[in-house]
Amino acid sequence: MASLGSLSFTESTMFILSKKYHRNFSPLRQPSQNQGVFCDKMVATSRSGKWQMWRAGPIVQATTSGSQTSDDSDDAIQATIEKSKKVLAMQKQLLEQIAERKKLVSSIKSTSLDSEEEQDSYEQMDSSFPNPDFHSRDDKITVDGLNGSSPSVSTGNVAVREQLDADALLSSSSTSYDNNYKMQVVDLKRTISTADPKNQLKRSSDTKSSVVIPDPKDQLKGSSQATYSDVLPDLKDQLKGSSKIKSSDIIPDPKDQLKGSSKTKSSDFVPAFLSSKSLYSTVKEGNNGQPSEPALKVDGDAVETASVDVEPPPLAGANVMNVIIVAAECAPWSKTGGLGDVAGSLPKALARRGHRVMVVVPRYENYAELQDTGVRKRYRVNGQDHEVVYFQKYVDGVDFVFIDNSIFYYREQNIYGGDRLDILKRMVLFCKAAVEVPWHVPCGGVCYGDGNLVFIANDWHTALLPVYLKAYYRDNGMMKFTRSILVIHNIAHQGRGPVDDFYHVDLPEHYVDLFKLYDPVGGEHFNIFAAGLKTADRVVTVSHGYAWELKTSEGGWGLHGIINEIDWKMRGIVNGIDSEEWSPQYDVHLTSDGYTNYSLETLETGKPQCKAALQKELGLPIREDVPLIGFIGRLDQQKGVDIIAEAIPWMMGQDVQLVMLGTGRQDLEQMLRDFENQHRDKVRGWVGFSVKMAHRITAGIDILLMPSRFEPCGLNQLYAMNYGTIPVVHKVGGLRDTVTPFDPFNESGLGWTFDSAEANKLIHALGNCLLTYQQYKKSWEGLQRRGMGQDLSWDHAAEKYEEVLVAAKYQW
């Protein structure tokens, strides 16, 4: 209860009106003495001169505290008019303050976003003023001026002015004002213009007169107790960033408004036209005296919102899938050639695109830092049960899962060695265990499952996986949404054997036709690669050139008929390289023994230093002017080692040095030792394979030889170009795709090629290369820089693989 003048006021229940609710209005009746006045808002519009009833507004109960007469009604009306003038003056003053603030804010050179938010704030403020068409308005407007109190005015809209005038006229006809009215108006005006906003917000119930424009959310809540104060602090003080004003005191948390908590004070309410996008923020002055960007001050009780880094969507977008890559080798744990590099690098590139990726590989040795998953499974191979243990390691966003069984032990140095049936049994067990990994191995605590899943099998060693997926599962209504892709790295190795080998793979009898293949030389035989190509959903080769060669009788190795039949589902994708492992700038093997890391900017000094360090380590004469030639690869007929052997007498007649690293056929290994013994000052043969030496040789040599008879893709030429080493290659398969012949007239190209696997062709290409090295240094440097400037990473190849994954996913 608050007393103002001779009238006592009590807050009555506020009825919430909405489109769905309409209460009956009691007829207007003349109150008698000591009787409360209950009415809806009655206004006399100046235009129509008629009395209208508003359907919005609370009921205000007023009881007279003493006997009052209405004899001086003319004086009361005059007093009301004077009061309305004062209210309009206050409105004018506030409008001037708003205009002043608007001019000041517009002068601030802030970001375009701040400017847009500020403009939205003023537009929303203008649009939120009361509508003159009050019959269609749902908002409630309470004016306690009916009972003689002085309202707080926060808007200058003409409709509100007319409303206040009409309300004042109506109130004068029902009651009179106290003699202290003028003093109260002056006090209230002083409060609005000078008082601290906190004090205004916390003012006592003695001055509860207010202009209320409730938030529609609060109307829907139906709060029947709160009377909200419309407080507008001095805008100049806000712009000055006074520490006395807290935004939490001016603008409550919208959550608290929505909750409609009974604990919320009426002074915490902000009218709808003040609740704009930018709200009200304080502006601090910078060191130069200019206002800085507006900053919203948060009270200690308010919740501070910390900036949260929003992760960008995956590069794969909606095509994100579960991918399981199955391979017989995987770098850095096991490697005999390019397949190990692919299995170690492609998964990381796919993971960077957002896919969930796993690699499944046999556990040949007791690798360090592997975690036992605790999963044990038994599989029958050739009539014997084998228990499989699954180990796991998480590296660079990829789950590496290792299949552990004694049948794989101590095979790292000879992964594909042993008796034909022993090799077949290993691959059968590996594929059976790999196809059920998504069901049983909880990587990261969650199994991959068989939905939205694609297997990527590699070469004949895992070509049984697509067959098992179809025979054991999809034919029986399981793994219906799982797909398989078979990648051809080297079609020369196919898993051949007599037809009776079919009974070792544990498949239904009618599947034998998938494995039968007729060979003009060996007749009908058992072929694992043929069955895998027929049953896989998609087939990938490791270069465009190799995809074309596989369709020919020379390049298809007996499978060209099947390749031509499945041409519709086959695609060539050139391999990439691990740009972190094979980078001269970050290579960990170039940080000791006189080697150094280098980049395109430090090529002129870094590569000669690595060359000298390599010559020193291998015991060769340290000479910067002599061209250092190298070979890195498997010692067999495919890699053309015999072609190099035929060309060595010519090379020894030149002022060159030769370094060869590899392992393979014993006769070719002995050939390397013999060449080193015959030419101690020019030739070094390293029998065996060393990752460290492969990196150092790639960085130290000037020229890389790759006279392969066929090369599906080839990775060594990519490594070489990335290190500023010039390749001389046989133009086949992936070598044709990746090494552009040097054009001395246009200063273009990346190396030298020859079109036939013959020693004289190799000698001719190598001779031109040596001539350029010795006499055309500028052209040589251009070759190096063009090679190093290429983007040879796996990211591009991973994008192409993703297209194949999606094609397989939607294939039925």
d(CA 131, CA 274): 16
Phi-psi label, residue 787: left if phi above 0, alpha if psi -120 to 50, beta otherwise: alpha
Segment of 140-149, 300-309, 780-789 carrying the highest mean pLDDT: 780-789
List, as own/partner pairs, every contact residues 76-84 make where C-beta atoms lie below 8 angstroms and the sequence separation is at least 24, other chains included.
Answer: 76/172, 76/176, 76/177, 77/169, 77/172, 79/172, 79/177, 79/181, 80/168, 80/169, 80/171, 80/172, 80/177, 81/168, 83/145, 83/150, 83/168, 83/177, 83/181, 83/185, 84/164, 84/165, 84/168
Please report the pLDDT score of residue 559 as a whole number: 94
Q: Are 615 and 470 members of one domain?
A: no
Average pLDDT of span 168-195: 44
Statement: residue 50 has pLDDT above 60? no
d(CA 412, CA 277): 66
Name the residue type at position 503.
Y
**Per-residue model confidence as pLDDT tens digits over 715-744:** 999 999 999 999 999 999 999 999 999 999
Q: Which of 101-110, 293-302, 404-413 shows the lowest per-residue confidence on average (mean pLDDT)?
A: 293-302
Q: Are 529 and 607 members of one domain?
A: no
**Per-residue model confidence as pLDDT tens digits over 271-287:** 333 333 333 333 334 44
Please indicate, yes or no, if residue 148 is contained in any of the structural domains: no
| Structure tokens belonging to residue 532 | 């895998």
Please indicate, yes or no, if residue 712 is contained in any of the structural domains: yes
Q: Are 568 and 692 members of one domain?
A: no
Secondary structure (H, E, C), 553-579: CCCCCCCHHHHHHCHHHEEECCCCECC
Cα distance from N-terminal residue to C-terminal residue, the chain: 79
Statement: residue 455 has pLDDT above 60? yes
Average pLDDT of span 398-423: 90
Please report the pLDDT score of residue 100 as a whole number: 80
Secondary structure (H, E, C), 538-557: EEEECCHHHHHHCCCCCCCC
Q: Are 766 and 631 members of one domain?
A: yes
Strand partners, 375: none
Please report the pLDDT score of residue 20 as a whole number: 38
Top pLDDT among 215 and 231 is at 215
Please report the pLDDT score of residue 412 as a whole number: 77
CB-based contacts of 556: which residues, under 8 Å, 6+ apart?
Answer: 491, 549, 550, 563
Statement: residue 175 has pLDDT above 80? no
Model pTM score = 0.61
| Structure tokens belonging to residue 88 | 């309009």
Confidence of residue 789 (pLDDT cuts 50, 70, 90): very high
Q: Is the dihedral of CA 527, 531, 533, 536 positive or negative?
A: negative
Please indicate, yes or no, if residue 95 is contained in any of the structural domains: no
Top pLDDT among 91 and 803 is at 803
DSSP-assigned states of every residue in 745-796: TTTB-SBEEESSS-HHHHHHHHHHHHHHHHH-HHHHHHHHHHHHTS--BHHH
Please report the pLDDT score of residue 87 as a whole number: 82
Confidence of residue 523 (pLDDT cuts 50, 70, 90): confident
Cis peptide before 332 (omega within 30 of 0): yes
d(CA 576, CA 791): 9
Last residue of a domain, one of 572, 591, 613: 572
Please indicate, yes or no, if residue 453 is contained in any of the structural domains: yes
The DSSP symbol for 634 reads -
Q: Are 403 and 495 members of one domain?
A: yes
For 520, other C-beta atoms within 10 Å of its C-beta total: 6
Confidence of residue 73 (pLDDT cuts 50, 70, 90): low
The DSSP symbol for 591 reads S
d(CA 170, CA 161): 14
**Per-residue model confidence as pLDDT tens digits over 597-630:** 999 999 999 999 999 999 999 999 999 999 999 9
Q: What is the mean pLDDT of the chain?
A: 75
CB-based contacts of 420: which residues, under 8 Å, 6+ apart?
Answer: 497
Statement: residue 42 has pLDDT above 60? no
Strand partners, 401: 360, 392
Q: Are 541 and 609 members of one domain?
A: no
Statement: residue 524 has pLDDT above 50? yes
| 3 state DSSP class of 520 | coil
CB-based contacts of 718: which residues, under 8 Å, 6+ apart?
Answer: 575, 576, 577, 582, 738, 792
Q: Are 453 and 503 members of one domain?
A: yes
Average pLDDT of span 424-429: 96
pLDDT over 90, % of the chain: 53
CB-based contacts of 754: which residues, under 8 Å, 6+ apart?
Answer: 707, 728, 729, 730, 731, 761, 762, 764, 765
Please report the pLDDT score of residue 311 as a whole number: 64
Please report the pLDDT score of residue 309 as a whole number: 54
The DSSP symbol for 304 reads P
**Per-residue model confidence as pLDDT tens digits over 472-487:** 999 999 999 999 999 9
Quick one: which of 473, 434, 462, 437 has its CA closest to 531? Answer: 462
Top pLDDT among 671 and 259 is at 671
- H/E stretch holding 434: helix 420-435
Quick one: which of 360, 372, 373, 384 has its CA closest to 440? Answer: 373
| Structure tokens belonging to residue 675 | 């060449």
| Structure tokens belonging to residue 740 | 């552009």
Please report the pLDDT score of residue 634 as a whole number: 86
Domain count, the chain: 2
Please indicate, yes or no, if residue 366 is contained in any of the structural domains: yes
Quick one: which of 37, 44, 61 has its CA closest to 227? Answer: 61
CA atoms within 13 A of residue 218's CA, in its CB half-sphere: 27
Q: Are 362 and 433 members of one domain?
A: yes
Q: Are 559 and 631 members of one domain?
A: no
User: Are 733 and 713 within 8 A, CB to CB?
Assistant: yes
Please report the pLDDT score of residue 3 as a whole number: 38
Please indicate, yes or no, if residue 469 is contained in any of the structural domains: yes
Confidence of residue 664 (pLDDT cuts 50, 70, 90): confident
Average pLDDT of span 327-354: 91
User: Are 355 and 809 within 8 A, CB to CB?
Assistant: no
Please report the pLDDT score of residue 102 as a whole number: 77
Strand partners, 385: 380
Q: Which of 132-141, 410-419, 613-622 shows the lowest per-residue confidence on average (mean pLDDT)?
A: 132-141
d(CA 588, CA 581): 8
User: Are 83 and 70 within 8 A, CB to CB?
Assistant: no
Domain range for 717 is 602-790
Length of the chain: 812
**Per-residue model confidence as pLDDT tens digits over 388-402:** 999 999 999 999 999
Q: Are 414 and 348 members of one domain?
A: yes
The DSSP symbol for 365 reads S
Q: Are 560 and 703 members of one domain?
A: no
Please report the pLDDT score of residue 310 as a whole number: 59
For 223, other C-beta atoms within 10 Å of its C-beta total: 19
Domain CATH number, residue 627: 3.40.50.2000
Please indicate, yes or no, if residue 723 is contained in any of the structural domains: yes
| 3 state DSSP class of 253 | coil
Statement: residue 580 has pLDDT above 50? yes
Please report the pLDDT score of residue 318 as a whole number: 86
For 402, other C-beta atoms within 10 Å of its C-beta total: 25
Quick one: which of 652, 654, 636, 750 has its CA closest to 704? Answer: 750
Segment of 141-155, 248-262, 607-621 carrying the highest mean pLDDT: 607-621
Nearest-5° Cα angle at 724, 723 to 726: 115
| Structure tokens belonging to residue 394 | 């998480």
**Per-residue model confidence as pLDDT tens digits over 366-394:** 998 999 999 999 999 988 999 999 999 99
For 339, other C-beta atoms within 10 Å of its C-beta total: 25
d(CA 219, CA 545): 73
Secondary structure (H, E, C), 450-515: CCCEEEEEECHHHCHHHHHHHHHHHHHCCCCCEEEEEEECCCCCCCEECHHHHHHCCCCHHHHHHH
Nearest-5° Cα angle at 78, 74 to 81: 140
Statement: residue 703 has pLDDT above 50? yes
Quick one: which of 655, 648, 489 has its CA closest to 573? Answer: 489
Q: Are 680 and 724 members of one domain?
A: yes
- Residue that is written with structure tokens 């991973």 in the block: 798
The backbone torsions φ and ψ at residue 544, rounded to the nearest 5 degrees and listed phi first, read -70, -40
Please indicate, yes or no, if residue 282 is contained in any of the structural domains: no
DSSP-assigned states of every residue in 108-137: S---HHHHHHHHHHHHHHHHTSPPS-GGG-
